[in-house]
Structures are given as C-alpha cells and as structure tokens.
Structure 1
Amino acid sequence: MRSSYLFTSESVSEGHPDKVADQISDAIVDLFLAKDPVSRVACETMVTTNRIVLAGEVRCAQDISLAEIEAAARATVKRIGYEQHGFHWQYADFACHLHGQSAHIAQGVDESGNKDEGAGDQGIMFGFACDETPDLMPATLYYSHRILEKLAADRHGKVVDFLEPDAKSQVTLAFENGRPVRATKVVVSTQHAVGCDQKKLRDYVKGVMNDTLPQGWMPNDEDAIFVNPTGLFEIGGPDGDAGLTGRKIIVDTYGGAAPHGGGAFSGKDPTKVDRSAAYISRYLAKQVVGAGLAKRCTIQLSYAIGVAEPLSFYVDTHGTGTVGDDVLEKVLPELVRLTPKGIRTHLGLNKPIYQRTAAYGHFGRATDADGGFSWEKLDLVEQLRAAV
C-alpha cells in the first residue's frame, strides 16, 4: 500500500431520494418480521414527485393489509420530515405491487427434511474493518456520515429553521504513513428553505464541519470548503430527483475503501445473503482488527442459490496481519457457522431492526439493546486470540 495519498468518501442524508427509498423498503421488512420472524421480503421502492411505488415479493404467516403497508411507508416519509409541496408524507400517491414469493425460490431457500436452509441467491459479499477510527471504519466515510447526522439532528431538534431533509457530504483526507492526518477538501450540499440567507447557511455548515472533524483537521483555505457549490438548493428530495432502493451501496458500506459484492441490503429479509453475509463478513473482519491481529482486514464470502454452505471464504489483512491470512481462513469459520441459518442465529437477525440501518451506514454503528447492529459487537475477540 502507498503510505501517503489523498482519499475521498461521500455520504447522503436520510432525506436523499435514494435513502428515502431504502428506508421505506426496510420499513416494510420490519413490518413483516414483526408479524412473523421467518417472513420473506424483497421490497423495492421508487419515489418521485408526490409518488411512492412499491414492488417485489413477500411471504408471511400472518395477514398484512395494504393499509398497514401504506401506513408504514407514509410514517417513514413523515419521520424523515417531508411535508413539501412536491413530496408530502400525507398527500403523495401510493401504489403497492408486492406479490407472493416465487415457489421455485422458496423450495431452494426453505429448510425441509434433511435439507438445511439454502442461500436466497448466488453472489459475493465483502466485509471490512480498519483501525482509522474507534468504530474500526474508514475515516473518510466516518466523518462524511457524522457531518450529515449533525445536520439532521439540528433540523429535527429545531436548532436551525432553514434546513430541509435532502443533503450530501464528501470528505477528502490526506494520509501520511498510512494514517489520516487532515482534511484537504470538504463538500456539503444541503437543501434549504426558500429565501434562506446563504451566508448564514454557509457559516452554520462550516461550523458543523469544524466541530465534526478532529481538532486541527479543518482546511484553512476557503477554496477547499464547498457549501452548496451550485448555489440555491431549494428543490430537493424525491421532487428534485427520483429515488430507488439500492442505489447507494457504497455509502451503505465502506465509502469505496473496500470492495463491494454488488448486492444492495435494504428491502431484503436476512435469508438474503446479500445482506446477512455482508453483515457477518463485517463482523468477522472487525473481530480480527479488534483483536489486534491486523490493522486492516477484508473478508469475502460467496454463495450459490439454494446451497447452505459458502462456496469460498477469503481473508486479506493487506500485509498488516500478525498471523497468516491462511490461519484466519481456517479459524474464523470454526467460530461462526457461515450458512444463512447459522449467520441469522449467531447475529439474531430475524427481528424488525432494519429501518435504522438504511441511513448513515450499515456499519460503524453502536449496537442497540434490542439487537440492532449486532454485527458491530466485538464479542469473539478473546476466542479468536486463543484460536490463533
């Protein structure tokens, strides 16, 4: 690896149209899992000017009415804060095209007789951890998320009255000897109220940047700080740009600092290995770095539809490991069974815990008391150290 370089990651807020779609899709996942913990859900959402459209496949042991599904979608938009002329939680048109799960997919996934539960699809999944932040996440993405979380908290808390839900951030950091040392460029574009004083907005956003970045990291050059560089940003959210589930997968994971298998997470129940295997890969990579066995760790898993056991398991500590990658490849699968059922059981994934993941990243988050973000726990560190 190069020791000195610039690297950039971006984030988008909960009000970004694609993230609105992700959160609605995961609200539907939570609705079904709350009724039946072994529900099957693959829900796609499109949002545009005053319109919400759902499509996909579902299966549930309990009856769930169209009214309940619509209420979950509208409640999500209301929580985000959209009450605009062009996109309003109460008045947007709603259409639902969810239908029953394919019987052919079901027969491959379902557990029956001597057959273990199979993967919901083929694919490759990656997990990553590094020691750049306390949450073992890439620093560029970590600070991009934190800036937008602060904007959202101030908007919801009415600390300021000129912010609207849609926003994006981008942070470029300089790395020296492989460590982040300062920001060289910071970008924030945020939707704002009509007639907002642009200097007031810029001064506020610069203050958030400065408070979020470590002391001394804020660029001194005004030309390195970009706040709404196109000028006005009054029309935003689904009214300004259509949103779709699964279009922000790099924001959801590692900000480009690690590979991505290509599959989206939101809208999928945990039998879908696009989601659950990406979570367990992050969990295992985090154990490696948390145990002090490497400064960086990438893990890859692969699956075939209907097959329980993974087809491959790969570990790369990027030359930073204190034990061989081949040793970790042998030991880690002995600590957690990497079948879909094994993953769901180990992490407790059959719960309505997913809508909260659909903004500000699926990783680098605090574990919740109800089992949310269970893949962020560092609870295998001692076992891993003993095993190697």
Structure 2
Amino acid sequence: MSCMSIFRAITARLLFSIHGIITIWRLYLVTKDTRYWYLACVLGFLLIEMTVTLGKKGGKEWKWFCPSLMIYLMCVVPAIWFLELHEMDRRIREKEKTTTNNTEVTYNDSIEQLSANLGSVLGVRFEIRIPLSLTSDEWIRTLEQILLLVLILGRWFLPKGKLTHDQLSQLLLVYIGTAADIIEFFEAFKEDQVKYNRILCITILGIWSLSLIQFSLVLTASRARRDQSGLVMKRESPDSETIGCCSPDVYGIIISILMQDLPFLVLRMLLIFRYSVLSYTNMFFTSKNTIVIILLIYRLIVVQIEKRNAKMKDKYGSAFDDYKNRGKRIMDSLSLAESASSGTGSSHYGSRAKLIHSVSCHSNGFLESQNVRRTITDSDKQRLARTLTMENIDTTIC
C-alpha cells in the first residue's frame, strides 16, 4: 500500500465530511433544531469504511460499487430534503397569507451567511464564518450543486482500484454529463405550478435522490453513458466480463434508463400535459430525454446481437465467418445473374457473356448447375461445391 493511496483515500473522505457538516450546519441555522445534528453520525461510517478499505483491500477501491460515496449521500441527501421541505412550507405559508389579504405574492428573502460563535477565551472571541451572502433559496441550490461537484472530485481523489486510467477518465466525464442533467432538473422549482405543489416537490426530490445512486455504481454507470455516446470498447471474449445473465453493458443501459432518463421524461411529460408547463427548457429537455431513451434501447439491441454473434464465432470458430462470406457471395452472384438476364445487350456484359462455375457452397444444402441437381451429404459439405456466376448469358439457370 503506497502513501499516495492512503493520502488520496483520506482526502476524499475528508472532503465528503466537510460538505456534509456544512449542509447540516445550514439546516440547523434555518430550523434552529439541534436534532438535525444527529445526521452527522452517518459520517462515522466513513471512518469504518476507510479502515476496512485500507486494511482489507490494501487501499484499493471496490470495483463495481463505491461505499464511501453511498455513505456520503446518506448524510447529505436527507439534509437537503429537510431544507427543501422547509423552504416549500415557507413559500406555501407566504402564499396563503397573501391570498387571505388579497395581495400579490412577494418574497423578502434576506441575505444570510453561515456563522457559528464558539465563545471567547481570555477576552478573545472565536467565530467560524463562511464569507458567502446568499438568500435561503440560493443556499439550497448552492449546496446541491456543490454536492455534485464533490461527487466528481471525490471519485477522482479516491484510489482507482481495479479501474484503469482510461476507465477512470471516462467515468469522470460521464459524471460531469450526468451532473449537468441533474442540475437542470431542479429548474422545475422555478415554475409556479411546481413550487407551490407539495406532491410535485416531493416527487422531484425523490427522482433526484434516485438519480444520485448511480454515482456509486462505478463501471456500470461508466458503460451506460459511454454506450450513449457510442464509445464502446471491444472486448476480447464475450463472456470475460459477464455478471450473472448479462454483461456490464446491459446493466449500465438498464440502470441509466431506470434511474435517470425515464423518470426525468415521465415527470417532464407530466408537467407538460397535466400542469401545462410549456417553458422552452422543459420542452427541450423532454425531447432530449426521449431521444436518449430511444438511443439506449437501440444500443441494448445492438449489444445483444453482438453478444450472440460473438458466441457463435467463439463456438464455431472460423467456420462461422466462412458461412457468412459464402452466403454473401451467393447473394451477389444471384443478383448479378438477374441483372444480366434482364439487361441483355448491355454494354457492361456484352452479348456473349458466359456463365461459369465458381467455387462456393449453397446454404440450402443443394448443389445446382446447368444440368445437375443433387443433395449434398455431410461429407460433401466439407468440400467445395459449385455455384453459378456470370460469364455466359446464353446458359440458362436451373
């Protein structure tokens, strides 16, 4: 175990802990409820997980699943849920108050900072202050965006484990694209039909939480979005990376559809057809999610066809390629014969073009020539047979 692996493992988990504490700190300042500090106990599992990873795995991360990212999400996501629900209740109360007074809905969001007074020692006052002055809603959006940024940086700092450098770089690019889609998803809170609807707000938060789980699925998430862009790596063996009944490609595509694209599409279509939210961004990203799902399904079909062909080639060896080439040759010669028969006198073939016999094997098990037709036995199939190609237009085809 190298010192660099230990340093990277500690740095990543320290980054997770700092953002988790800041989020809980903000929640406490808003609600003035000390019970929310119990959410910080989840960060204690990061210490246990780091001990197991450094001791048992030798500093190498797990191949298919990243437990440290999952623990981090278990701490931060509930805190953001409470912040969003508190902000939603405040908006609804303001609307009910203005509705009762028959006045227009207005907000007087004050600029707030994060600060904590640690007391004074020998007349010296100790205080922790984050120099950011934001409104309540801006604080929530900032914490949500920093969450996605920390997920990307944390995955970069973590030891790559069994991932290659190429896979890690692709995974980080995948995370950036996924994070951009998730950030845009919160733009729905700006719509009046959404921000005063409790059910829609909870639904959006639920879909957002579901989409974050894919960050903890390492190779599967990488293959899902890599397939989406068409950058598919060729494998040497069809069964070398098979997990269960399917390959990682199939798992990645299914997870990408179920955890992000399909829920996003369903919610956006619900906003359009049920709540008449016809904004430009909503229409654009609805079309985008539809196209992505179609491409992923198409990619799923291609993966299955390639897998079947790879198994056939692995089972029959070079005979499978010979079979495909011979079939292609037969179709070419038949199409050539038909075009020559219909185009008598053509300058390409001339009036004295002749049909000759070339070497190939019919896929239907019969050998056809001008005067002979007989069934090919199993032993004959190992030998070369004759089929028709173009040379003489005067010779008839049986």
Q: Which has the higher contact order (CA 8 A, sep 6+)?
A: 1
Same fold (TM over 0.5): no
TM-score (norm 2): 0.24
Q: In terms of Rg, which structure is larger?
A: 2
Structure showing the higher strand proportion among its residues: 1
Scaled by the length of structure 1, the TM-score of the pair is 0.24
